[in-house]
Structure 1
Amino acid sequence: MIVTLTANPALDRTIALDSALVPGEVHRASSAQEDAAGKGVNVARVLHGSAVETLAVLPLAADDPFAALLDPTLAIRAVPTTAHARANIALTDAAGETTKINLAGTPLGDDVLRALVDAVVAASDGADWLALCGSLPAGAPGDLYATVIHAVRARVAHPPRIAVDATGPALETVLAQADEIGAVDLIKPNEDELVQLAVDLSAPDVDRPALHSRLVREVEADPIAATARLARELVPGTVRAALVTLGGDGAILVDAHGVWHAGIPAGVDVLSTVGAGDSSLAGYLLADRAGAAPAERLRTAVRYGSATAALPGTRLATPADLPTGDIPVRALD
């Protein structure tokens, strides 16, 4: 089983525009859709759609409209709260560009946060993977994910491997506390998030704006080599593996044994990037659970991410949506 934690679930409202988004102009919408989401919920939805046993842990109020939008066949463990899920707004245009506005949401009380940790510990008993995904609720301590990892590894007899797909303090504290809580098994940033992580983890006396500018230039000049170098600074000392998604440049996987790059399949037209990164993580976990080698785990991650990017709105890839074209994977020095 694969367990996901979505500490800050969201109602995703996706509006498709007939033309390119122009700030200050009036636009006509061709469609609108609302889905129960949040990164961990999205990962669980993809896993469930691929017939893999999964359990999504999240805070959920009994009267929250979010609950009615969840797939009734998706297994969830809801932690009671009075706070309703926040709303995310995504605007997608005819050119495949996505503009997102993510609201912060209502803070959760300390009692709810403690119950959330306990729920994850209980759910993790016997699981293969635990994926901690997305932003933290407003007002939550930045080390919430580190607290969850410590609790799972201290209280579960055979703890699952742990993946973290987050940014900012939620991820930074997990890596900064690796000596105390142990290295996580996988992180899944995109190239921009990896650059920011490298800046956040730099020494206190480093000129961080200058470092950020230099790293951005390096990634723009050679995204594959630059992100591989940044990821290798973390792997395997701080994290055991990094899956870095690069949009149209595919993705790289770095672990203790090597570095691999995968391109994207031919013939994929991007309609919406909403959920593409979550689908990539789900694809990786699916392949790992099946015992695939690193190159095939990376290939499956790209296949699922590309499939979701080719779907409109907030639709997430199922096996029937996967592109059949070749995905070239090569080992890098």
Structure 2
Amino acid sequence: MILTVTPNPSLDRTYEVPSLDRGEVIRATGERMDPGGKGVNVSRAVAATGQRTVAVLPLGGAPGALVADLLDQQGIEVAPVPVAGATRSNIALAEADGVLTKINAPGPELTDAERELLLETVRQQSRDASWIACCGSLPRGLAPDWYADLVARTHAAGARIALDTSGPALLAALRERPDVVKPNAEELSEAVGRPLATVGDAVKAAEELREMGARAVLASLGADGQLLVSDRGAWFGSARVDAVRSNVGAGDSSLAGFLIAGGSGPEALASAVAHGAAAVRLPGSVMPTPADLDPAAVTVTADLPADRALTEPVS
């Protein structure tokens, strides 16, 4: 079982539009409503493969009730933490050329009691978990070191934890040595405080995160592929993608694929790449099923293309 923790979940509405023109009336060609949040997406991706997952998340108001109902419809067990504030609602506008514009609401502010209840719920639900995936931004009311506290408690209980967050929350958590951290290129650049222009730059940045405490780094480099750097070595993975429909949740699908495959080594990286590539070919934040995967399109190598320029360098 993979347990996910989403401190700031959302109700996500995605509209497909021909193009985004400011000040104009735009008629959508398609729309979806999904439970949102990075940890929620990881649970959805795990459930799409037929494996068990439990989602821990604070929920409040009508949007929170709808999130729980949508997850239940997808066969995902929910361990809700009741909060007084309403769960946030987000909007994504997906253009025909693959460009995505997102409007994310701030979400409710958690009280001290709600913060402790969230930690206690994770403790209660984690007994049977092979991995705990903690993902996304922190809501108002949770200090940047909240993830660090959660990592420490998880290790004290003998469990493994994967962390997908950024900024001060990521840096604070590194001191507790999370088993895996999963930054994208922008988050990786922010963490080391310098630009990334090549795959080699990303590898060096991932190694620095390991020096700061991360036991392994799974880094998403967008269309260029993914990196895995751990004490077992470093690998680079990529996949052919003919057409991108939506990249919403692609990184979360990658993390799910990585954990499903054991969370270690080149085989897990290949699974992460296959899941991420499948996700971008699907609309909105739809998570891929095994039938959507194309393992033959994935390449994983220990011969790192250090000099390869990133398609979207981070300055």
Aligned to 2:313: none
- Shift in CA distance, 186/324, structure 1 to aligned 2, threshold 3 Å: closer
Provide the rounded CA distance (Å) in 1 between the counterparts of 2:15 and 2:273: 25
> How far is 1:153 from its partner?
3.0
Aligned counterpart, 2:189: 195
Q: Distance in 1 between matches of 2:241 and 2:116?
A: 47
Return the letter of the residue paired with 2:40.
Answer: V
Please name the residue that 1:37 is paired with.
36
SS at match of 1:325: helix
Question: What letter matches 2:50 in structure 1?
Answer: A
Q: What is the alpha-carbon root mean square deviation over aligned residues? A: 1.7
Structure 2 partner of 1:321: 292
Q: Which residue of 2 aligns with 1:68?
A: 69
Shift of 1:25: 4.1
Please tell me whether the aligned partners of residues 154 and 161 of structure 2 are also in contact (alpha carbons under 8 angstroms): no
- Mapped contact 1:126–1:160 kept (Cα < 8 A): no
Tell me how far apart the structure 2 counterparts of residues 268 and 304 of structure 1 sit (CA, whole Å): 15
Report matched runs for 1:138-157 at 5 Å. 138-154=140-156, 156=157
How far apart are residue 82 of structure 1 and its match? 2.0
TM-score by length of 1: 0.86
Contact 2:71 2:77 in 1 (8 A): no
Q: Is the 8 Å Cα contact of residues 281 and 301 (structure 1) preserved in structure 2?
A: yes
Gaps of 5+ in 1: 200-211
Amino acid at match of 1:301: A
Tell me the CA shift for residue 61 of structure 1: 3.0
Tell me the distance in 1 between the aligned counterparts of 2:149 and 2:160.
15
Q: Is the 8 A contact 2:226 2:237 kept in 1?
A: yes
Aligned partner of 1:298 in structure 2 is 269
1:281-315: CA deviations, max 9, x gaps? 000001116xxx61111111010011111001121
Q: Which moved more, 1:185-194 or 1:233-242?
A: 233-242
Greater displacement, 85-94 / 320-329: 320-329
Aligned partner of 1:50 in structure 2 is 49
Separation in 1, partners of 2:109, 2:296: 45
Whole-angstrom distance in 2 between the partners of 1:7 and 1:237: 24
Question: How far does the alpha carbon of each residue in 1:166-185 deviate from its partner, in whole angstroms, 9 at most, with x for none?
Answer: 1122212101xx1xxx3111
Match of 1:208 in 2: none
Q: Distance in 2 between matches of 1:263 and 1:66?
A: 33
Go from structure 1 to structure 2 and tell me whether the alpha carbon gap of 1:62 and 1:101 turns closer, same or farther (over 3 Å shift). closer
- Give the gaps of 5 or more residues in structure 2: 305-315
Q: Is contact 2:85-2:109 (8 Å) kept?
A: yes
State how many pairs are aligned.
Answer: 301
Aligned partner letter, 1:310: R
Cα pair 2:61 2:85 within 8 Å, conserved:
no
Structure 2 counterpart of 1:314, which letter? S
- Classify the secondary structure of the residue corresponding to 1:234: helix
CA contact (8 A) 2:72 2:78 kept: no
Q: Secondary structure at the match of 2:261?
A: helix
Deviations along 1:81-113, one digit per CA (max 9) or x if unpaired, are 222211121110111111111111110111111
How far apart, CA to CA, are the structure 2 residues paired with 1:247 and 1:62?
Answer: 35
**Cα distance in 2 for residues equivalent to 1:112 and 1:15:** 33
Instruction: Name 1:129's counterpart in structure 2.
Output: 131
